[in-house]
Homo-oligomer: A and B are copies of this chain.
Amino acid sequence: MARPLATQEERDHRSKQLLDAALALWQEHPDRIASVAEVAQRAGVAKGTVYLYFRSKEDLLLAAHERHVAGFFAALVARAACSERMVFDDMMLLTRQHFVEPPVVLPLATLVAGVRHKGVTPEALEAFETRVAEGLRVTGAMLLRHFALPDELAGVRLLMRSYALILGLWQLVGSEQPICRSPEVAAMLLPDYPSELDAALRALWQGTLE
Instruction: List B contacts of A113 (CB < 8 A).
Output: 110, 113-114, 171, 175
Complex Cα–Cα for A115 and B113 (A): 11
**Majority-rule SS of A interface residues:** helix
Check if B117 sits within 8 Å of A114, measured CB to CB: no
Check if B111 sits within 8 Å of A185, measured CB to CB: no
Instruction: List B contacts of A111 (CB < 8 A).
Output: 114
Complex Cα–Cα for A156 and B202 (A): 17
Check if B207 sits within 8 Å of A177, measured CB to CB: no
List 22 interface pairs A-B (beta carbons < 8 Å), by A numbering: A32-B118, A107-B117, A114-B114, A116-B175, A117-B177, A122-B177, A122-B180, A125-B177, A126-B185, A136-B188, A157-B196, A160-B173, A163-B168, A163-B172, A164-B165, A164-B172, A167-B168, A168-B169, A168-B171, A202-B207, A204-B204, A207-B210
